[in-house]
Structure 1
């Protein structure tokens, strides 16, 4: 029986049902490259489902029968796609499977920032009543700038439109946008937005796109939300902008280095709301991503009937 390595500790039962003709090998919640190389060497999988960790050339070389790497989600930046292409290994992603979950997390972070949910909660629990001194930000009528208008970005755009926000966005690949989304260039996003939300994949071209320079172009008091990839943001520049007041607040679900460790400079910052990259982690998205990853790899393996049935 051919095997499939899952770089995680589990997979939705609905996905396992689709993969019943294969041996499923789990790598655990925090697999290292050495772990994956060892597993691939022992099982020579025909496919991998990537949940956690990185898959590079060394892992691929340890699995000579590997035909497809399927992402449990939409972001494939943890997979060395150039190495995969050089080895005729197809890389596929469950695009849109967690769109609702991530868009809702982005909205939660936006509202938490605008309404000072976290600091007010802490003050209340400490026995304070700040009604006479606190003013929150009203989002209706303000401009939200989106970077990335794929499944997640457009879902979030619909929510922002429902709040009465003006929605502008940059995405060179987006087509047939809804009437409530105005397509603009990236500089316009920085300059005109009262809040900015990132929904694009991480590439070599956009790494650190939100930096001291681009933050300086923004309106003073802008809100920044990132539920995409931590590498899109220059974290030191964002921290400085929050401390100076250039950024009113930031809501972050992804970080340059994950997991975040004790002593990170974002920790303890009242106007930075943090969540541990769980935007796409809901019970529904877990099933959708697992089923999507399974269907995608089976579609590729369908072109390899001899391998699929060995």
Structure 2
């Protein structure tokens, strides 16, 4: 056992720039796909003071296996894989690397939107098979269309700026957003469903918005709408979306996250026209990897330093 306090990383690696900030601590890695039992066992072995969460879920059971735990720091923005109620009950601080991967995720949302509108995947496959569809194919021009954003945090705002730059009308819903730029029109959620040619999800997953994209909301959308999700898979009723794509109500769906990850196989979306899929890698770029790691490490150390500092009058 090391004499240094331990920080567990629920992954196999961390950016060197982030590790350099953790020199006062021993860092233990949980591996590429840690399960709950793995994290419990690792927590019991090391009794960490901090956890940096990349993969897997941090449950109450994991927290109870680490009585010294003071901070759980997300290597990213979404904290839905952390039982925040359990953390609060145990006096454990939960932090997130807000904005650290905003550029990467917004760019990926743009890539998925363009892939859907321009039939990039389908045309690539046809070309490799020896076809030349110039005389028969027409793609969708996004200039002049309306994109509806659900979530106007750092990612949503950056994506909005990209959409505005290519000539799209941008409307958005976020009950917590303030001081929006003039190219984003704040609207009620109902208008997102009814007025959008493209809908893009950039919001956290909560108990209130779970499966907000469902049969009822999809039925209210324009025929031929495009749906983009670079947020959390739990925002979508996957069976309902499958039916909507099959019927043509949704022209195409560009998805980077899924209700269960890794995505179960076989999955109803696989090998189906109208779906452009990626394995939750919107925020996985070389720059974002460093940014998220540094932010997570900085947040972790800040909490641990504040815990160690004696209160005034108790020195």
TM range (shorter): over 0.9
Distance (Å, rounded) in 1 between the aligned partners of 2:115 and 2:227 = 11
Partner of residue 207 from structure 2, selected from 181, 196, 204: 204
Aligned-pair CA distance for 1:261: 2.8
Paired position in structure 2 for 1:170: 173
Equivalence for 2:91: 88
Residue from 18, 21, 25 that aligns with 2:24: 21
Aligned-pair RMSD on alpha carbons? 0.9
Mapped partners of 1:82, 1:262: distance in 2: 32
What runs of 5+ residues in structure 1 fail to find an aligned partner? none
Which residue number corresponds to residue 251 of structure 2?
A: 248
In the superposition, the TM-score normalised over structure 1's length comes to 0.98
Structure-to-structure mapping, 1:1-310, within 5 angstroms = 1-305=4-308
Q: Could you report, residue by residue, the CA deviation over 1:237-271 in whole angstroms, capped at 9, with x for unpaired residues?
A: 10100010000000000000110132101001121
TM-score, normalized by length of structure 2? 0.97
Secondary structure of the 1:304 match is helix
1:279-302 deviations in Å (ceiling 9; x for gaps): 000000000000000011111111
Deviation at 1:306?
6.9
Q: Distance in 2 between matches of 1:245 and 1:101?
A: 30
1:54: Cα distance to partner? 0.3
Render the CA deviation track for 1:205-263: whole Å, top value 9, x for unaligned. Answer: 00000000000000000000000000000000101000100000000000001101321
Q: CA deviation at 1:13?
A: 0.2
How many aligned residue pairs are there? 307
Distance in 1, matches of 2:129 and 2:41, equals 51
Find the aligned partners of 2:145 and 2:44 in 1 and give their Cα distance.
55
Any gaps of 5 or more consecutive residues in structure 2?
Answer: 311-315
